[in-house]
Each structure stands twice: as structure tokens, then as C-alpha cells.
Chain A
Amino acid sequence: MFETLDQIFILLKQGVLGLLPQGIRPLASCLLTVSAVFSVFGLLFAVTTLVERKALGRIQNRLGPNRVGPFGLLQPVADGIKMLTKENIVPRAADRLVHFLAPVVLIVPVALAFSVLPYGRNMVPVELDAGLLFFFAVGASTELAVFMAGWSSRNKYALLGAMRGIAQMISYEIPLVLSTLAVVMVAGTLSLPQIVSAQGGYLFGWIPQWHVLTPWGLAGFVLFLIAATAESNRAPFDLPEAESELVAGYFTEYSGFKFALFFLGEYWGLFAVSGLAVTFFLGGWHAPLPMLQWVPSWLWFFGKLLFLLSLFIWVRGTVPRLRTDQLMNYAWKFLLPLTLVNLVAAAAWHYSRSWDFPAALLWRWLACAAIIAIPYVLLGAALGGGRQKTQRIYRYAD
């Protein structure tokens, strides 16, 4: 019973494929997987926009959308109809071809990134040995779309937004990759399903062996989340589309469904990165406790994904937007050194495997935690703590 429920989608797909003639089975297999991924993440996009608006409203002591359908649940439908029926305006001075291609170029790599994520036990659309490499390779090409959109619009807001976007995405790509590198070092593989299976099993019978529960994994997880927030252009790193400064940043000149595609691309990028965080640090589709293993693995994956998404929404509702110089300083002076230190901690963790004395695990944990925590405190003091708060003097007021 558990096996069937866990593998239900695999069994369904095999059942459908069995009905088809031999010749078209590979193609049909691809189409089935792609349509499943697209529909699930399309639905997740709709749900996330609604949850985000509701949660942000509550954080700001408002009600949030509650007009369409019961409790506003049909709001994404209304939004979708609105987007589809809106006029598609292309500026006269715009480069029409590039302007048209930019949203497509944004969606395609993001959709490709979904293909290597393990959604459950045996549920990987494409099992690549270098899955991580593929993920970051296609993920990095979204920057091209951002610049295409900003450049082709012939609009200064769009261009400024695109420039900011490029600077930010390239800067944060480095800590993003480096924070996952610690996992790769310890797991010894670039394949995402193997990294998930490396986190299986329970220590002492109940503590999951997720990477987030190791000191370098915890630090890597936090660093990864920060860099992922910046990579997906979300608050507090939403400078490329800062509404109050740049209208909508690089997609200022987009309307109707192309605008919706940018929106979709942004959220899909967030889902993909969150999926990677789940895979790398939160144990993928593994259950957090041994007695919860009867819950299907794909439910665990999407549960953890939703948890991360709500974390992103919570952060968006909390932190105000950074300035450009703060953004760059944060990436190069703070995140980059800490990710390098984290690599050292991961190496120390790897080589202290063979320690064999009483409470070795505890000592190992504390030693690795110290390797990260001491530079963190020192770096924090050097960057922000040295500044004294001074009384602000107003020269002309009162």
C-alpha cells in the first residue's frame, strides 16, 4: 500500500505508456513528465501568488485579497484572466524581436532547471550525473533574458533595472555556487538523487542525517537562502525591479501575458532554487522522523518546498530593500568570505569522520561550528559593529 502510494506517479506513467505503441513511447514519456512538471509548478505559482498576497496583507495588518471566490481563493484565476485579456503593448522604439524573445528566454532555462530535481523516490525527470552543474548552467542563462528585456525596451528604467539585475545576479551567483560546493565536497557527487540518498537514514534511530543538521550544512543553508533570494530578485534584494524607483525594472515595458511570463519566470526560478535547497540541505524527499516514513516521498519534497516558500514570503514582509552599495558589499565582503570559510568547515567535517573517542560526534560538531562562528562574529563586527551610532543633528529644523 505504502509502496503504491509512494510510487503512484511512476506507476501511472508506466500504465499510460503501456497502452501506447512501442515507437512513440520515448516521446510520450517525455511529454507526460513535462506536462506533469508544468502543471504542478503552474499550480504552485498560482497558489504562491495568492498565499504571498494574503500573508503580506496579514503581516501588514490588512486582510489581503478576499473578494474572488470564498476567502479570495479564486484570485489567481481572476489575475490570470486579467493578464490574458490585457493589450500587448510594444514600445515603438523597442527592438521588437529581442523584446518578444526575452520572456521566452527567461522561461526556458527555468523550466529546464526543473528537469534535474528529485521530486520523490525514483521521481527525477532527467537523471544526470552532473545535475548540479546543469542546474547552475541553465540557471545562469536567465541573466541573459533580464538584459535582453532591459536593453530591447529602449527605456531608461528598464535599462537601469537590467544593469542592476546583471550586477546583482552575477555577484550572488558566486556565493550561491560556493555554498552548495560544501555539500558536493562531503557527498562526493554532483548528481542530485545521489546527494538526496546520502542524506537518508537516521542517526541513533531518530535524528535525520540531513545536511542542515551539520554545522557547515546549517551555515551553507542560510548562505544559500540569502544568495537564492538575491538570485530570484526578491525582497530585500529586489533592486532590479524596485517599484518605488524603477517602475518595474527590466520588465517596465512589458504588458499583458508577457508581463505574466516574467512574473512566472521569477517565481519558477524561486521554486527551482528552493527545490535545490531542499535537495541539498533539507534531505530532499526523506521524512524528518522514521515513524513518518509512511507519508509519500513526494509529499515531503513539496512540503519542504512550501516551507521554504513561506520563509521567503516572511522575509519579504520583514526586510526593507537594500541600497546598491550595501548589496554589493554584502555579497563580496560578507557572503563570499563566509562561503569560503564554510568550505573549510566542510573539509574539517569530512576529515574528522574517523575521530574515535567518547562523544566524538559532539566535539566534531562543536569544532566545525567554531570554524564558522568565529569568522562570522569577527566579520560581522568588522563590517557593521564598528560603526558608532551618533546623534543626528538637524541643521535647519528646529
Chain B
Amino acid sequence: MLGTGIIKGLAETARNFIGSYTDPERLVTVEYPDQKLPAKENARNFPFLVFDGDDWEKGLRCVACQICEKECPPQCIYIEKSKDKKPDHLGKPQFYPAIFNIDVSVCMSCQICVEVCPFEAIKMDTAFELSTGDRFDALLLRKDHLAKSNDYYNSIHPTEAGEIDARRAEERAKAEAKAKADAEAKAKAAAAAVTEKPPDPTAATAQKTNPDAPSPEPPKAN
């Protein structure tokens, strides 16, 4: 009959009204500044730069390849490459960003910079209490403000950061093994050269001319 739906609806809202007083479980909201819900793992807001270790300047993963700068749709990233190089986590010398700015008033939180970064250097933050009193300078985040530790990254996105850490550890182990092997090979070759060179110089030349000669250690597949 006409009107029964309204009565059903009124009963439902009355149940909510009374229930919200008797059963605190029904109240789904929290009183925000006093109570805070933990951020969701997949939440994202603005990008930040990850660094390893304790010193952010030394440990910054970014190598200033500028891919993110080029890919950023609203072009909110500005990077200047350094003149010198410093070793990355694999010990390879790399450039680092002399300037890395993100204009968060322009950033649209699309996460494209994160997706294109080959070095796991830029990640999305979950911090959202970012209001400032200064709408010009304080919204241009500089390198020192952007740099956040890997521990922090692990705390906000544990799953993702764990995978990346495992992968990087593997790479590092491989690189170390390779470096060790290279060093051993070099040492052996040097030792061989030292022992063999004075009596018979032809042996060294023969080894040099013959590329198929068995090397002391098979080259590592990379």
C-alpha cells in the first residue's frame, strides 16, 4: 500500500538515532584532531625522496636521471643535476640532484613519477596535515624537506617497501659477489703476471691475443 515505504524508512532512521546513543559501535566517524585513524597502506598524497642510512645527503637514492621531471604531467618537479658524482648503494659512481624541488600546489598526486622511477627513489607519502601559513615558499618543497628515510617508507607502505628492500639487497649481494670475483680474478691475473712475466713474456701475449683462452673464473652473468 502507498505509504508503507515511508514508515519503514522512518523506523530505520529511528533505529539509527536511538542506536547511536546506546551502541557506540554504530558511530563510524572519529573526532579527527583528537583521534586519528592510522593511514591506509595504499593511501597516497604527495611524493617524497627515499634515502638509505642515516645521512640523507649521502644516502639519497635519486641519481638525477630527470625521468620523473620529464614525465610529470603538471610539471611540478624541477631537478638540477650535480657536477660531481658519488657512489650509489652498489658502489657505482652516480650523479645526484643538486636541486630537487616539488611544487605541491601544482602536484596532482598522480603517482606517475613513482611509476617511472627506475631507482625506487621517489615514493608517495601518506602525510596529509600539510597546511602552512605561507602559500608561496612553503608550498615549494626542497630536497631537504622531501628526503625521508627508508625506515619511514617501510613504516607507511610496509609491503611495497619490503619487496623493494629485498630486491635491492639481492642486487647488492650480486654486485658484491661480482666485485669480489673481479677482484679475485684481477689478483690472480696479477699474481700470474708477476710469476710468469719475467721468464716468458710470450705467454702473456698469447693470452692477450687468444680471447678463447680459459679465464680463471667464468664471467658472471648479470
- Choice from A59, A63, A314, A385 contacting B27 with Cβ under 8 Å: A63
Cβ–Cβ contact B10 & A59, under 8 A: no
Cβ–Cβ contact A59 & B2, under 8 A: no
Report B1-45 residues with CB < 8 Å from chain A CB.
Answer: 1-3, 6, 9-10, 12-14, 16-17, 19-21, 26-29, 31
Cβ–Cβ contact B6 & A319, under 8 A: yes
B28 cross-chain contacts in A, Cβ below 8 A = 61-62
Cβ–Cβ contact A380 & B14, under 8 A: no
- Choice from B3, B6, B26 contacting A61 with Cβ under 8 Å: B26
Cβ–Cβ contact B10 & A58, under 8 A: no
The answer to whether residues A385 and B2 also contact, given A61-B20, A63-B29, A63-B31 and a CB cut-off of 8 A, is yes
Cβ–Cβ contact B1 & A61, under 8 A: no
B10 cross-chain contacts in A, Cβ below 8 A = 314-315, 318
- Choice from A58, A319, A379 contacting B17 with Cβ under 8 Å: A58
Report A372-393 residues with CB < 8 Å from chain B CB.
Answer: 376-377, 379-381, 383-385
Cβ–Cβ contact B31 & A58, under 8 A: no
Give 7 CB contacts A-B under 8 Å.
Answer: A62-B20, A62-B27, A315-B10, A318-B12, A319-B6, A376-B2, A377-B2
Docked Cα-Cα span, A314 to B17, in Å, equals 9
Cβ–Cβ contact A62 & B6, under 8 A: no
The answer to whether residues A58 and B2 also contact, given A314-B10, A315-B10 and a CB cut-off of 8 A, is no
Cβ–Cβ contact B6 & A380, under 8 A: no
A59 cross-chain contacts in B, Cβ below 8 A = 13, 16-17, 20
* Min CB–CB distance A96 → chain B (angstroms): 33
Binding site for A on B (CB under 8 A): 1-3, 6, 9-10, 12-14, 16-17, 19-21, 26-29, 31
* Min CB–CB distance B77 → chain A (angstroms): 36
Docked Cα-Cα span, A319 to B27, in Å, equals 21
Q: Is A110 an interface residue (CB 8 A)?
A: no
* Min CB–CB distance A215 → chain B (angstroms): 16
Docked Cα-Cα span, A377 to B4, in Å, equals 12
Cβ–Cβ contact A314 & B13, under 8 A: yes
A377 cross-chain contacts in B, Cβ below 8 A = 1-2
A62 cross-chain contacts in B, Cβ below 8 A = 20, 27-29
B29 cross-chain contacts in A, Cβ below 8 A = 61-63
Docked Cα-Cα span, A75 to B20, in Å, equals 21
Cβ–Cβ contact A314 & B14, under 8 A: yes
Chain A residue at minimum C-beta to C-beta distance from B28: A61
**Besides A62-B27, A377-B2, A380-B3, 13 other CB < 8 A contacts?**
A58-B21, A59-B16, A60-B16, A61-B29, A62-B28, A63-B29, A314-B14, A317-B17, A318-B10, A376-B2, A380-B1, A381-B1, A381-B2
B6 cross-chain contacts in A, Cβ below 8 A = 318-319
Cβ–Cβ contact A58 & B20, under 8 A: yes
Chain B residue at minimum C-beta to C-beta distance from A320: B9
The answer to whether residues A384 and B27 also contact, given A61-B20, A314-B14, A319-B9 and a CB cut-off of 8 A, is no
* Min CB–CB distance A285 → chain B (angstroms): 28
- Choice from B2, B9, B12, B13 contacting A380 with Cβ under 8 Å: B2
- Choice from A58, A63, A379 contacting B16 with Cβ under 8 Å: A58
A376 cross-chain contacts in B, Cβ below 8 A = 2
Chain A residue at minimum C-beta to C-beta distance from B27: A61
Chain B residue at minimum C-beta to C-beta distance from A334: B2
Docked Cα-Cα span, A90 to B2, in Å, equals 46
Q: Is A55 an interface residue (CB 8 A)?
A: yes
Report A45-71 residues with CB < 8 Å from chain B CB.
Answer: 55, 58-63, 66
* Min CB–CB distance B146 → chain A (angstroms): 35
* Min CB–CB distance B4 → chain A (angstroms): 10
Docked Cα-Cα span, A31 to B155, in Å, equals 68
Docked Cα-Cα span, A59 to B19, in Å, equals 9
Chain A residue at minimum C-beta to C-beta distance from B31: A63
Chain A residue at minimum C-beta to C-beta distance from B4: A380
Docked Cα-Cα span, A31 to B14, in Å, equals 42
Q: Kindly name the residue among B2, B19, B28 whose own CB sees the greatest number of chain A CB atoms within 10 A.
A: B2
**Shortest 5 CB-CB distances between A and B: which pairs?**
A380-B2, A318-B13, A318-B9, A58-B20, A59-B13
B31 cross-chain contacts in A, Cβ below 8 A = 63, 66
A315 cross-chain contacts in B, Cβ below 8 A = 10
B26 cross-chain contacts in A, Cβ below 8 A = 61
Chain A residue at minimum C-beta to C-beta distance from B8: A318
